Structure 1
């Protein structure tokens, strides 16, 4: 039997809110399914609420609302947080990514999430 995990796109207003929405979609109220990109990728690999031996689908409804909320402005915000925690030798590279995102260029947070889902759970994402 295929499990369907539904993300209501209008509820995703930031990356922090995405972690809450996906956690609850997969594991119920207060559920966990990652709180950073690496943990999310690990969760998609199985053993953290996704069925180990069954199919699942992530149905991202009204994904365009999420795409807007997780666009370049949110990307800049996330990259600034990353820059502030980065080793000094890496800050210039992160700043270059911030500059691109601030100019409306390059991948967004939404793109990062879709890429992770497609890599770790190929064919299991439905954008609606």
Structure 2
């Protein structure tokens, strides 16, 4: 199984994570940080092996902090500006929770998406294994 290493010491935002991920996983295109696009990438193609891969996230605790509530608030504020009006109430609720340091963070979003493509996930057939170090 192909292994890729990302280093949490090398990024401090979702945008920096997506750039780092794109470089380290050697994607065929530059991923710009959209979470739906990450789902597509993890399904295979886009430069990722069709048979799955091991993703080792070094310095993941550093990422947990950098991609914590302040970054989550920033991302949700941006999402609120561009989302469909029908979704604004839900995003506002998520934003208020993040401001109170409640709910999932950007780090949690990323880990959940990646793990969903792994052994116990709903898309386990993609065979993406995440190791946090």
TM-score in terms of structure 1 length? 0.90
Say whether 1:92 aligns with 2:89.
Answer: yes
Structure 1 runs not aligned, ≥5 long: none
Residue pairs, 1:1-128, within 5 angstroms: 2-27=1-26, 32-33=30-31, 35-53=33-51, 55-122=52-119, 124-128=129-133
> Closer, same or farther in 2 for the Cα pair 1:3/1:33, shift >3 Å?
farther
**Are the counterparts in 1 of residues 39 and 113 from structure 2 also a CA contact under 8 Å?**
yes
SS in structure 2 at match of 1:124: strand
> Closer, same or farther in 2 for the Cα pair 1:32/1:50, shift >3 Å?
same
Distance in 1 (alpha carbons) for counterparts of 2:56 and 2:31: 15
Distance in 1 (alpha carbons) for counterparts of 2:86 and 2:116: 29
Distance in 2 (alpha carbons) for counterparts of 1:33 and 1:77: 19
Structure 2 runs not aligned, ≥5 long: 120-127
Count of aligned pairs: 125
Divergent runs of 4+, >6 A:
none
**Are the counterparts in 1 of residues 4 and 53 from structure 2 also a CA contact under 8 Å?**
yes
RMSD: 1.8
**Are the counterparts in 1 of residues 4 and 55 from structure 2 also a CA contact under 8 Å?**
yes
